[in-house]
Amino acid sequence: MTGPVPRPAEAPDLPAWTGVPRRVSVLGSTGSVGCSTIDLLKRMPERFRVVALTANTNAALLAEQALALGAEIAAIADPSALDELATRLAGSGIEAAAGSTAVIEAARRPTDITVAAIVGAAGLEPSLAALESGATLALANKECLVCAGTLFMRTADAHGSRILPVDSEHNAIFQALEGHNRDQVAEIVLTASGGPFRTRSREELSRVTRAEALKHPNWSMGAKITIDSSTMMNKGLELIEAHHLFGFPAERFSVLVHPQSVVHGLVRYTDGSVLAQLGSPDMRTPIAHCLAFPERMPVPVRALDLAAIGQLTFEPPDRERFPCLRLAEAALGQGGGATNVLNAANEIAVSAFLQDRISWARIAAVVEATLERCEVMGLSEGPASLAAALDLDRTARHIAIEVVGHSYG
Ligand SMILES: NC(=O)C1=CN([C@@H]2O[C@H](COP(=O)(O)OP(=O)(O)OC[C@H]3O[C@@H](n4cnc5c(N)ncnc54)[C@H](OP(=O)(O)O)[C@@H]3O)[C@@H](O)[C@H]2O)C=CC1
Ligand SMILES: CC(=O)[C@@H](O)[C@H](O)COP(=O)(O)O
Ligand SMILES: [Mn+2]
């Protein structure tokens, strides 16, 4: 275990909104978090000015968003999508750019706040570029921190950039920690819905389908995180994310299953007080918290009606039926490059599951086998540079692809 990560204590708060629009970029604007962000920006045009929007392949939606918000630039990672993007933006004065370097350069444009909502380790370089520009980063892309957390937090520190957590649990914990003494924090609890398979037996879990796994009980999200929730790898990734974001040792965090997804995170203090943040399960609340920080802004989210919900329930996680949680906890405990390998192997396994190449139960097996094979590389040192992080990520993916190739069922 590496010790606590130093906090970016000197990073300045965003100035309060004083009537001057904030410059905002959205990386991954066409995804689930991206579209929720765009929805909020469209409702408050006087409050935000859009700099850059980025996507992977969806040129039609990217152009529509850029036109609706009058963005400066729209950048798409897939070079073959440039013609369509440029045609749709012709005559608007909005720049069109393509290729992964164009996405990174768009992310580097100065803003007041940049929302990092690309999925997977593909978000690492654009998010680092945003941090290097000095922007406040509203971070949804948890895989950045799992892949290269120490490097990521150091980059934020070095450039005086603040990171505001968008991920609902981390946003809740951030709110419950704000204004309190870090030395008096006894425990930080991440809640987990338990996913669509929370009550399934081991035997039933061997037969679950892709369609079932894609049906999250409470949240509407992109495919990758929805599968991660079904295996509880999402909670494992979130433990690693929380360790880096908040700088507490791994032992200070715990996971509590809460099927209603109303209590998003809790902080217990040394005097026994437990502070929590509650809200309807709608990502527009944590996104708005980041966009308006340190103010609050109104959102079109259904008000929480606890009387209608009636009961909030809690139970411990089951690491036997959901081994991905155990694997992520072990990788966090090991530190160094283990979480990078965990993330890469999980991305490959989830993608193979979504392509019907492996069963749901094999996702954990592929991650475990990849971690075992990578042990020989000695993972005790975490990647010290971006090149080292990308290199380890590439190697682990190759190994995971081989493991998938040897998987049956
Ligand atoms: N969805 C949610 O409610 C929550 C999500 N998160 C985290 O936020 C992140 C985004 O999740 P979500 O919105 O669900 O994901 P989606 O799959 O819905 O969206 C992903 C976005 O990233 C873009 N993208 C994908 N691959 C690349 C690439 N190689 N280069 C550049 N852009 C790329 C996509 O573009 P295109 O549309 O063109 O494919 C899309 O804009 C994830 O890390 C997730 O864990 C955290 C908490 C909640
Ligand atoms: C909305 C959000 O933050 C997701 O990470 C969500 O929490 C996933 O639900 P699980 O608790 O099922 O992983
Ligand atoms: Mn979350």
pLDDT in tens, 66-113: 999 999 999 999 999 999 999 999 999 999 999 999 999 999 999 999
Q: Say whether both 162 and 28 belong to one domain.
A: yes
Residues 6+ apart with CB under 8 A from 347: 120, 121, 143, 224, 397
CA–CA dist 146, 90 (Å, integer): 39
CATH classification of the domain holding 132: 3.40.50.720
Q: What is the DSSP letter of 293?
A: T
Any idea of the CA torsion for 194, 121, 277, 9, to the nearest 10 degrees?
150
In terms of residue numbers, what domain contains 243? 170-282+305-309
Q: Is residue 347 part of a domain?
A: yes
Q: Which residue has the tokens 């802004």?
A: 297
In one-letter notation, the amino acid at residue 353 is F
Q: What angle do CA 329, 228, 218 make, to 5 degrees?
A: 115
- Residue 404, helix vs strand vs coil: helix
pLDDT of 272 > 70? The answer is yes
Q: Is residue 11 part of a domain?
A: no
Q: How many CA atoms lie within 13 A of 242 on its CB side?
A: 33
Q: Say whether both 28 and 145 belong to one domain.
A: yes
Q: Say whether both 151 and 174 belong to one domain.
A: no
Q: Say whether both 178 and 101 belong to one domain.
A: no
Segment 12-21 shows an average pLDDT of 73
The rounded Å distance from CA 3 to ligand 1 centre is 30
CA–CA dist 65, 67 (Å, integer): 5
Q: Label residue 5 by pLDDT band (50, 70, 90).
A: very low
218 in a known ligand binding site = no
Q: Label residue 19 by pLDDT band (50, 70, 90).
A: confident
Q: Are 196 and 217 spatial neighbours (Cβ–Cβ below 8 Å)?
A: yes
pLDDT of residue 376: 73
What are the two backbone dihedrals, phi and then psi, of residue 185, each rounded to the nearest 5 degrees? -85, 120
User: How large a percentage of the chain has pLDDT more than 90?
Assistant: 91
Q: Say whether both 82 and 115 belong to one domain.
A: yes
Q: Say whether both 175 and 145 belong to one domain.
A: no
171 in a known ligand binding site = no
Closest CA to 261 of 237, 286, 244: 286
Q: Say whether both 218 and 270 belong to one domain.
A: yes
346: part of which helix (H) or strand (E)?
helix 338-354
CATH classification of the domain holding 398: 1.10.1740.10
333: part of which helix (H) or strand (E)?
helix 323-334
Q: Say whether both 214 and 100 belong to one domain.
A: no
pLDDT of 261 > 50? The answer is yes
CB-count burial class (<10 Å; 0-12, 13-18, 19+) for 301: middle
Q: Is residue 299 part of a domain?
A: no
pLDDT of residue 11: 62
Segment 331-351 shows an average pLDDT of 96
The rounded Å distance from CA 123 to ligand 3 centre is 17
pLDDT of 334 > 80? The answer is yes
Closest ligand 1 atom to Cα of 143: 43
pLDDT digits (tens, 9 = 90+) for 179-236: 999 999 999 999 999 999 999 999 999 999 999 999 999 999 999 999 999 999 999 9
Domain boundary among 118, 135, 166: 166
pLDDT of residue 378: 74
The rounded Å distance from CA 118 to ligand 1 centre is 4
Closest ligand 2 atom to Cα of 194: 12
Domain boundary among 309, 344, 362: 309
CA distances from 305 to 78, 95, 169, 173, 214 (A): 43, 44, 20, 21, 27
Q: Is residue 246 part of a domain?
A: yes
**Alpha-helical runs (H) found in 190-283:** 202-205, 210-213, 223-231, 233-246
- Residue whose CA is closest, atom 33 of ligand 1? 56
Q: Say whether both 387 and 352 belong to one domain.
A: yes
CA–CA dist 394, 351 (Å, integer): 15
Q: Is residue 5 part of a domain?
A: no
Q: Say whether both 275 and 142 belong to one domain.
A: no
Q: Say whether both 183 and 118 belong to one domain.
A: no
**Alpha-helical runs (H) found in 99-195:** 100-108, 124-132, 143-158, 168-177
Task: Name 71's bridge partners.
Answer: none
The rounded Å distance from CA 168 to ligand 3 centre is 5
pTM over 0.90: yes
In testing the pocket of ligand 1, which one of 104, 105, 118 has its CB within 8 Å of the most ligand atoms? Answer: 118
CA–CA dist 109, 97 (Å, integer): 13
Q: How many CA atoms lie within 13 A of 234 on its CB side?
A: 29
pLDDT of 2 > 60? The answer is no
The rounded Å distance from CA 124 to ligand 3 centre is 18
pLDDT of residue 17: 65
pLDDT of 6 > 80? The answer is no
pLDDT of residue 13: 64
pLDDT of 4 > 70? The answer is no
220 in a known ligand binding site = no
pLDDT of 406 > 90? The answer is no
238 in a known ligand binding site = yes
In one-letter notation, the amino acid at residue 199 is T
212 in a known ligand binding site = no
Q: Look at the chain and report how many structural domains it folds into.
A: 3
Q: Is residue 314 part of a domain?
A: no
Q: How many CA atoms lie within 13 A of 371 on its CB side?
A: 26
- Residue whose CA is closest, atom 11 of ligand 2? 192
Domain boundary among 166, 185, 203: 166
Q: Say whether both 394 and 360 belong to one domain.
A: yes
Task: Name 255's bridge partners.
Answer: 190
Q: Is residue 315 part of a domain?
A: no
Q: Is residue 74 part of a domain?
A: yes
pLDDT digits (tens, 9 = 90+) for 283-326: 999 999 999 999 999 999 999 999 999 999 999 999 999 999 99
pLDDT of 9 > 60? The answer is no
74: part of which helix (H) or strand (E)?
strand 73-76
> Who lines ligand 2 at CB under 6 A?
167-169, 192-193, 195, 219, 225, 229, 234-235, 283
CA–CA dist 409, 397 (Å, integer): 20
CB-count burial class (<10 Å; 0-12, 13-18, 19+) for 308: exposed
Q: Are 392 and 337 spatial neighbours (Cβ–Cβ below 8 Å)?
A: yes
